Each structure stands twice: as C-alpha cells, then as structure tokens.
Amino acid sequence: MNISSVVVHARSEATAAVSHRLAAMAGVEVHAVSAEGRLIVSIEAASDRETADTFEAIRELAGVLSVSLVYAHYETEPDSELIGG
C-alpha cells in the first residue's frame, strides 16, 4: 500500500469543482481547502504505478495549476510477508 500526501494548487474560481472531482477519484481524499485554491489531499494506492497515475490524473484536472508531493510512504501487506526464515 502506498500512502501519499500532496498539495494541489487550483485556480481560486475552480477550487470547488476541483475539490469535487478529487473526492470522486478512487483512493483520493480531500482533507482541507483554502480560499486561495490550495487543497491538502491524500492518495492511497496499491502500487507505485497506481500512485503515479493518480498523481498525473490530478495534475491534468481542469483548473489545477500545480501538484506538489509532500509525503510518501510504502507499507507491505502483512499477509504477503514471510514469517520465519
């Protein structure tokens, strides 16, 4: 599981529309929105590729000016780890 946090900077007049589009994306959660058009967003994805694809999809949304990665973390699934040696 990949967990990332990004800051999305949107045009101020498009902030509400961008927030709605983000909330509709799988694995994406909007945590905060400022009047100036900045949104704090988390992305949860199963793989690096899925995270990168989601990041790119956010970047391409109408009204988005920039997307900045703030935090990235990778966790292995406990069931997939070998126990013992």
In a domain, 9, yes or no: yes
Residue 82 confidence class, pLDDT cut points 50, 70, 90 = low
If pLDDT is split at 50, 70 and 90, which confidence band does 85 have? Answer: very low
Which own/partner pairs from 23-32 qualify as long-range (CB within 8 Å, at least 24 positions apart)? 25/54, 25/57, 25/58, 26/54, 27/54, 28/54, 28/58
CATH of the domain at 64: 3.30.70.920
Is residue 84 in some structural domain?
A: no
Kindly state whether residue 81 falls inside one of the protein's structural domains: no
18-37 pLDDT, tens digit per residue, is 999 999 999 999 999 999 99
Region 75-84: mean pLDDT is 63
- Please count the structural domains in the chain: 1
Q: Does residue 45 fall inside a structural domain?
A: yes
Q: What is the pLDDT of residue 76?
A: 79
Query: Which residues form the domain of 6?
Result: 2-76
